[in-house]
Amino acid sequence: MFDKVTVLYLGRQIYFGPCAEAAAYFEELGFERAPRQTTPDFLTSVTSSERLVRAGMEKAVPRTPEEFVQRWKSSALYVNLMKDVRAFDAAYPVGGANVRQLLDAKHFRQTRSQ
């Protein structure tokens, strides 16, 4: 039902992207999903001591928020996100033509008299 999900870890953003790819991203980092665990629970569990690490990945998985951020900012998903952000900012430049349109829409809805 949601389009995107973001995962926060002590004030750090460690994922922002499509829901469908979130679980795979963390599994790739070396985390393992507990049986019957829901996806949202799995995503939050990597930020706590509940996390399960796949055998053989104990040394490779990030643990502190900083390590998570480092992995996130060097991921392909992050590069894509930044590309999308730049495209959005180019389509709707701050103070651009869209401001006029939104102000008009606001005045259209505002009650002028009782």
* Residue closer to other proteins, measured from CB, 60 or 98: 98
Residue with tokens 């706590």: 48
Cβ proximity to other proteins, 32 vs 72, nearer residue: 72
Give the residues lining the site for other proteins (CB under 8 A): 1-13, 16, 19-20, 38-41, 43-44, 47-48, 69, 78, 81-82, 84-85, 88-89, 92-99, 101-106, 108-114
Closest separation in Å from C-beta 71 to other proteins: 14
Quick one: 28 or 84, whose CB is closer to other proteins? 84
CB of 56 to other proteins, least distance (A): 27
DSSP string, 24-89: HHHHHHTEEPPTT--HHHHHHHTTSTT-EE-TT-TTTS--SHHHHHHHHHTSHHHHHHHHHHHHHH
